[in-house]
Amino acid sequence: MNGNIDGYGRALLKINIRSTSGGTATSVDAWVDTGFTGDLVISNSLVEQLELKESGSVDAILADSSPIELPTYTCIIDWFGHQRRLEVVANDGEYPLLGVGLLIGMELRVNYATLNLSLKKN
């Protein structure tokens, strides 16, 4: 899987996400965030657009160290040729965040000289 580095230095991967009830997948650019230990964070507006079902909540600590409780939703992503069911966190952020949970067992290479990113299964 290949991605790119944008003009702000963010490492981005395009992922397809859909509701567990089917429907058309929506393609989003997810910001690879190695400081996030979960799988995926998406915006509340994307949750509404995809009509995802709420599955619970999770306690989180924001970058400024403040605690917060965030709702979780069930979705399907296309991941290396397979459909993978995930519990995603929703927030008011602008960019989806792809976390370490999806990177475990992978090789991530970010090349700022060529502005390319590659993610491979090991």
Q: pLDDT per residue over 15-64, tens digit each?
A: 999 999 888 899 999 999 999 999 999 999 999 999 999 999 999 888 89
pLDDT at 97: 96
- Domain total in the chain: 1
Tens-place pLDDT, residues 107-118:
999 999 999 999
Looking up tokens 């965040």, which residue turns up? 97
Looking up tokens 């090789």, which residue turns up? 107
Tens-place pLDDT, residues 51-91:
999 999 999 888 899 998 989 999 999 999 999 999 999 99
Tell me the whole-structure pTM to 2 decimals.
Answer: 0.90
- Rounded Cα–Cα distance for residues 34 and 122 (Å): 18
Whether the predicted pLDDT of 93 surpasses 90: no
Domain span holding position 102: 2-121
Domain with residue 87: its CATH number is 2.40.70.10
